[in-house]
Amino acid sequence: MGADARIQELKLELPPAPKPVATYVTALRQGDLLYVSGHGPLKADGTLITGKVGAELDLEAGRAAARQVGLAILATLKSHLGSLDKVTRLVKSLGLVNCTAEFAQQPQVINGYSDLMKEVFGDLGVGTRSAVGTNALPGNIAVEIEAIFQVAD
pLDDT value at residue 21: 85
pLDDT value at residue 126: 98
d(CA 13, CA 7): 8
Question: What range defines the domain where residue 88 resides?
Answer: 3-151
Burial tier of 16 (Cβ tally within 10 Å: 0-12, 13-18, 19+): middle
Tell me the CATH number at 59: 3.30.1330.40
Rounded to the nearest angstrom, the gap between the alpha carbon of residue 22 and the centroid of all alpha carbons in its chain is: 19
- Beta pairing partners, 148: 35, 92
Q: What is the DSSP letter of 11?
A: T
Is the Cβ–Cβ distance between 91 and 32 less than 8 Å? no
Q: How many domains does the chain have?
A: 1
Is the Cβ–Cβ distance between 90 and 3 less than 8 Å? no
Map residue 13 onto helix, strand or coil: coil
Q: What is the DSSP letter of 83?
A: -
Q: Tens of pLDDT along 77-104?
A: 999 999 999 999 999 999 999 999 999 9
Which residues of the chain are under the pLDDT cut of 70? none
